[in-house]
Structure 1
Amino acid sequence: MNQYYTDLHIHIGRTKSGRAVKITGAKSLTFSNIIDHARDKKGLNMIGIIDCHSPEVILEMEEHMAAGELIELAGGGLSYGGLTIIPGSELEIYDENCHGPIHVLCFFADMNGLKRFSGWLEDNLKNIHLSSQRIYVSGKELQYKVKELGGLFIPAHVFTPFKSLYGKGVQDSLTEVFNAEFIDAIELGLSSDTYMADGIRELHSYTFISNSDAHSLGKIAREYQTIAMNEPTFEELRKALSKEGGRRITANYGLDPLLGKYHQTACEKCQHPFHPDDEKCENCGHHKYVKGVADRIAELSEACENTPERPPYIHQIPLEFIPGLGPKMREKLLDHFGTEMAILHEVSYDHLKQVVPQAMAERIIAARTGTLQLAAGGAGKYGKVM
């Protein structure tokens, strides 16, 4: 088995012509820029690009295929010079069974499946060109369509207070909205990790994945995983998510949940920590708060004698989050060592010291091992590396 660095949740901000796809995404997030940056700067081996259902994105992908730059793999997925792309779509469900909107990820093996899905979507949402659109079918109907087309179905960032499965989507159980058998994995999101999520018994049977949900090139691979597979293809990914034949997630790499922008319960107005029993914020007097992921998981958790055997969840801090490590120094490191994956996983302390000051080399090693001091985030404000 080989190990592959994988980030399965990267948004497209704009098409090649400049048309908006993910309105909150950076203009530089085109399909072509993403595949270059993920391979050459980040050092990833497999990526999931969300929003590939958009017709102009499909046209851009077909242009790459016509030029011989993008090749469909026999096992599914698209190859771009050693990088495998798994095309997908993020959608919003808000049917009669939901208590709030829920975002989900749908992935497909090839262009045929993707184009058929895009054609079906056009009849069931308002704007086929945009990302994360509300689909006017039930959660189960969407699941059945994805499975009919041989796809993967994964609830996205499941604990985020807004637009997620457990944030507001269901009261107690995913079965209120979905068929449990047609869920291929659970995406944890930035404000949680394996150890927190395993307090919820109904999640024990699912593989956990950690992805960036990148809205800019720099945010790609702020969370990712290593996957043991024979080769980086859609079919091997499917087998890894279901732990078939030794294929599996071997490690999740993500921010310490304290750095997530919804980790702790905080004032809606000023983001100061807010205890739910208090009548108002002690900092600004505002009466409303955003319930943090930690408190929501605590509500859903129960005492479990046995939790599943999981791969390690490594609290790793991306280069972009390290205090004092600005764009020029990052470029210097990349010029010397190639990719961010190499810097975070392979380059020795002694070699780092030859390129950056000793104090910065020490911070990079501390970021690699998750030992930097942190302050918690909440109510939409990211935590901080102190």
Structure 2
Amino acid sequence: MLKSYFADMHIHIGRDIFDRPVKITAAKSLTLTNVLKEASRHKGIQLIGVIDCHAPNVQTEIKNLISKNLATELSDGGIQFEEVTLLLGSEIEVYDEFCQGPIHVLCYFPSLQQIEKFSEWLTTRMKNITLSSQRYYGTAKELQYKVKELEGIFIPAHVFTPFKGLYGKGVQKSLAEVLDADLVDGIELGLSSDTHMADQIKELHDYTYLSNSDAHSLAKIGREYQEIYMDKPSFKEFYWALHEIEGRKIVRNFGMNPKLGKYYTTVCQKCLEPVSTDTHICPACGSKKIIRGVFDRIQELSDSPIEKREGRPAYLYQVPLEYLPSLGPKTYQKLRESFQTEMNIIHRVPYEKLQQVIPQKLAQMIMDMREGKLAISAGGGGKYGKVTDKK
């Protein structure tokens, strides 16, 4: 019988087992072991994708956990640690002759043996394999072919962001300009878009959408995620869910209102004032550095009148608990002590029990969040939007 599991498939590593940087912009506390503990014990997420597992020292840490009997490699793919399954992933930056600009893609592999082979191959096409999201020297299609040769999963990352997103930067109109469309297993939407926005592009209708955190700190794990029907969390089951095989599927996406994303609106990069899409000079400060927002870019690409493809799972607006006004560290700790995990607090704990632990107004905000009723002020140009306490 299939069961429901929560999954966040885009989490970075800040430091490796030897305290050397992996994702330079990520928190030092974001080690592999800390990520596993946070997901299992605090977040309540059962499936995660760590996308810096191509780094040899990250692989060493995984092997150490296995040797100490703290983790187990699964026959269906993935690494089991306590209540969470880790999928071995890699985020790669591609900028070949067919790309308009650099794009990020996510690759996942079933086993340590296969990602080790991938890392060995990458060393001939990448200058520094120990770091995250490094430039790959080759074509996007060659990368796809290698991933599929190693029985992997290939997903374009945060596809609409103006920096290093497939549609935001990499192509003029179609993903087929740079990718083999048949070898794409899913589409990661990114923080500034949702299902309704993405389905305005007809060529995306055939793909499963993912909503992931792109976490650069422990706190950001699970800021976006999905609920998946699977037999159990594993590589094979995740692949089947992406392709809706034998009842496996993503049943709900949970993500921030796109207006909270850093790149939702078109703004001046210098002063962050909103500007019209048809202007080349900011009327406020005179700067020519205009960052085109995700909303406006999707309007340019739109070629489908539907709001949501038939059969597409619901996309529910939620935010991390830390985004809620007046929910500070002490209040968060009280909630955790009372209800164990963030998934319990966000999804399962009734209003009556919440207000026994936290102020009534804050308890009501959590209930409003469950129903997508939070008031939002939009972000843009690299600045996040925010939740307000006004309806």
Aligned to 2:18: 17
- Conserved 8 A contact 2:98-2:177: yes
- Conserved 8 A contact 1:163-1:169: yes
Aligned to 1:339: 341
Q: How many angstroms does 1:293 deviate by?
A: 0.1
Aligned to 2:376: 374
Aligned to 1:241: 242
Aligned to 1:106: 107
How many angstroms apart in 1 are the aligned matches of 2:87 and 2:197?
A: 28
Q: Residue 329 in 1 paired to residue 337 in 2?
A: no
Q: What is the aligned counterpart of 1:314 among 300, 313, 316? A: 316
Aligned AA (1:339)? T
Secondary structure in structure 1 of the residue aligned to 2:298: helix
Q: Residue 271 in 1 paired to residue 278 in 2?
A: no
Secondary structure in structure 2 of the residue aligned to 1:104: strand
Aligned to 2:386: 384
Q: How many angstroms does 1:205 deviate by?
A: 0.4
- Conserved 8 A contact 2:14-2:27: yes
Q: Residue 37 in 1 paired to residue 4 in 2?
A: no
Aligned to 1:85: 86
- Conserved 8 A contact 1:333-1:355: yes
How many angstroms apart in 2 are the aligned matches of 1:17 and 1:144?
A: 33
Aligned AA (1:52)? C
Aligned AA (2:299)? A
Percent identity, please: 54
- Conserved 8 A contact 2:266-2:296: yes
Matches within 5 A, 1:297-312: 297-304=298-305, 307-312=309-314
Q: Say if 1:195 and 1:110 are closer, same or farther in 2 by CA, change over 3 A.
A: same
How many angstroms apart in 2 are the aligned matches of 1:119 and 1:370?
A: 45
Q: Say if 1:291 and 1:87 are closer, same or farther in 2 by CA, change over 3 A.
A: same
How many angstroms apart in 2 are the aligned matches of 1:322 and 1:112?
A: 42
- Conserved 8 A contact 1:322-1:367: no
Secondary structure in structure 2 of the residue aligned to 1:166: helix
RMSD: 1.1
Aligned AA (2:302)? S
Aligned to 1:285: 286
Secondary structure in structure 1 of the residue aligned to 2:251: strand
How many angstroms apart in 1 are the aligned matches of 2:251 and 2:97?
A: 38
Secondary structure in structure 2 of the residue aligned to 1:221: coil
Q: How many angstroms does 1:151 deviate by?
A: 0.4
More deviation in 74-83 or 98-107? 74-83
- Point out 4+ residue stretches in structure 1 off by more than 4 angstroms: none
- Conserved 8 A contact 2:265-2:296: yes
Number of corresponding residues: 386
- Conserved 8 A contact 1:261-1:378: yes
- Conserved 8 A contact 1:317-1:368: no
Secondary structure in structure 1 of the residue aligned to 2:107: strand
Q: How many angstroms does 1:267 deviate by?
A: 1.0
More deviation in 84-93 or 280-289? 280-289
The TM-score normalised by the length of structure 2 is 0.97
More deviation in 224-233 or 296-305? 296-305
Q: How many angstroms does 1:279 deviate by?
A: 5.2
Matches within 5 A, 1:191-230: 191-230=192-231
- Conserved 8 A contact 2:55-2:130: yes
Secondary structure in structure 2 of the residue aligned to 1:115: helix
Q: Give ranges in structure 1 of 5+ residues lacking alignment.
A: none
How many angstroms apart in 1 are the aligned matches of 2:321 and 2:284?
A: 32
How many angstroms apart in 2 are the aligned matches of 1:221 and 1:243?
A: 23
Secondary structure in structure 1 of the residue aligned to 2:271: coil
Secondary structure in structure 2 of the residue aligned to 1:252: strand
More deviation in 364-373 or 42-51? 364-373
How many angstroms apart in 2 are the aligned matches of 1:99 and 1:277?
A: 20
How many angstroms apart in 2 are the aligned matches of 1:64 and 1:318?
A: 29
How many angstroms apart in 2 are the aligned matches of 1:100 and 1:345?
A: 39
The TM-score normalised by the length of structure 1 is 0.98
How many angstroms apart in 1 are the aligned matches of 2:179 and 2:150?
A: 18
Deviations 1:254-277 (A, max 9, x none): 000000000011111111111123
- Conserved 8 A contact 1:13-1:26: yes
Q: How many angstroms does 1:288 deviate by?
A: 2.6
How many angstroms apart in 1 are the aligned matches of 2:36 and 2:294?
A: 32
How many angstroms apart in 1 are the aligned matches of 2:95 and 2:282?
A: 31
Secondary structure in structure 2 of the residue aligned to 1:26: coil
How many angstroms apart in 2 are the aligned matches of 1:176 and 1:38?
A: 37
Q: Give ranges in structure 2 of 5+ residues lacking alignment.
A: none
Aligned to 2:74: 73
Secondary structure in structure 2 of the residue aligned to 1:48: strand
How many angstroms apart in 1 are the aligned matches of 2:235 and 2:227?
A: 15
Aligned AA (1:175)? A
